[in-house]
């Protein structure tokens, strides 16, 4: 079965109970972080941390990192303590299904602590390697949920119109289509470029009209022109990776 058809049927077949279960799982967030010594900035191992009002506890490893999974949505008090250091507690908010990254500094002397450094990201995109590829400097364009909401597009195709190396052809019998500004085969003759390969939630797709989706269903987009994509996603023409908010598989 064509993946586009399967994707549409899958969404149509989802029962309210199934969707509710998916939403409940996504409502739990993740907190990851790094604890450092305020005096010299070194990582601190053996720091005990917890979220007040929950049973969640963690201890930093030799790199000073910690992790809480299954964190309920809402405001929490994060505390940290280690013998020889002043105990610290800070309030933070965990949005539904978010990955919250925290940097916390401890001091041996009573001081007025600096503001806690908190970065909120998508836990779904983190699992799919979106942020890792972004940090590693791959020559691509990255749109996360925050950027998609900021643009507030009327259609998914609109998200591609200002990305470097791409051209959008509007309308037509098959709907609007996205092309890379280059031709790499004789089959591209007569077209305004070649069509990048599409991967939908990590599965290669034959879908060409991205507007079969709604922007509100997308958690993130990666676009690589001219074979610059990493690993299995490499294509001589280019590659588009779309990660949906409720993955297909």
Query: Is the same domain home to 222 and 147?
Result: yes
Q: Would residue 199 count as lying in a domain?
A: yes
**CA distances, 205 to each of 71, 91, 239 (Å):** 34, 43, 11
Evaluate the CA torsion angle 148, 150, 156, 161 in order and state its sign. Answer: negative
Query: Is the same domain home to 169 and 111?
Result: no
What CATH number is attached to the domain comprising 99? 2.60.40.1120
Q: Would residue 23 count as lying in a domain?
A: no
Query: Is the same domain home to 206 and 142?
Result: yes
Query: Is the same domain home to 37 and 87?
Result: yes
CA 184 and chain centroid, separation? 31
Query: Is the same domain home to 139 and 239?
Result: yes
Query: Is the same domain home to 134 and 224?
Result: yes
Q: Would residue 218 count as lying in a domain?
A: yes
Question: How far apart are alpha carbons 96 and 26 in whole angstroms?
Answer: 7
Residue 23 has pLDDT above 60, yes or no: no
- Is 226:165 a contact under the CB 8 Å cutoff? yes
Tokens matching residue 116: 């806690």
What CATH number is attached to the domain comprising 180? 2.170.130.10
pLDDT at 51: 95
pLDDT at 9: 33
Q: 29-43, 99-113, 167-181: which has the minimum mean pLDDT?
A: 167-181
| Whole-number average pLDDT of the chain | 83
Query: Is the same domain home to 106 and 182?
Result: no
Residue 188 has pLDDT above 60, yes or no: no
Structurally, the chain folds into a number of domains equal to 2
Domain that holds residue 205: 128-244
pLDDT at 15: 41
């Amino acid at each position: 079965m064509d993946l586009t058809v399967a994707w549409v049927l899958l969404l149509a077949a989802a029962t309210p109970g199934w969707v509710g279960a998916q939403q409940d799982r996504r409502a739990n967030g993740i907190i990851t972080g790094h604890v450092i010594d305020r005096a010299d900035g070194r990582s601190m191992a053996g720091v005990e941390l917890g979220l007040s009002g929950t049973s969640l506890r963690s201890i930093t490893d030799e790199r000073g990192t910690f992790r809480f999974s299954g964190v309920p949505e809402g405001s929490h008090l994060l505390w940290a303590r280690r013998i020889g250091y002043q105990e610290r507690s800070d309030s933070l908010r965990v949005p539904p299904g978010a990955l919250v990254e925290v940097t916390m500094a401890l001091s041996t002397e009573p001081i007025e602590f600096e503001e806690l450094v908190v970065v909120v990201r998508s836990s779904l995109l983190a699992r799919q390697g979106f942020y890792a590829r972004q940090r590693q400097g791959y020559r691509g364009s990255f749109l996360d949920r925050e950027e998609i909401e900021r643009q507030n597009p009327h259609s998914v195709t609109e998200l591609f119109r200002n990305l470097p190396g791409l051209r959008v052809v509007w309308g037509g019998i098959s709907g609007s289509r996205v092309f890379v500004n280059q031709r790499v085969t004789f089959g591209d003759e007569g077209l305004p470029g070649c069509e990048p390969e599409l991967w939908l939630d990590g599965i290669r797709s034959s879908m060409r009209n991205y507007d079969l989706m709604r922007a509100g269903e997308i958690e993130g987009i990666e676009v690589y022109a001219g074979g610059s994509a990493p690993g299995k996603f490499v294509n001589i023409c280019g590659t588009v990776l779309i990660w949906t908010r409720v993955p297909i598989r």
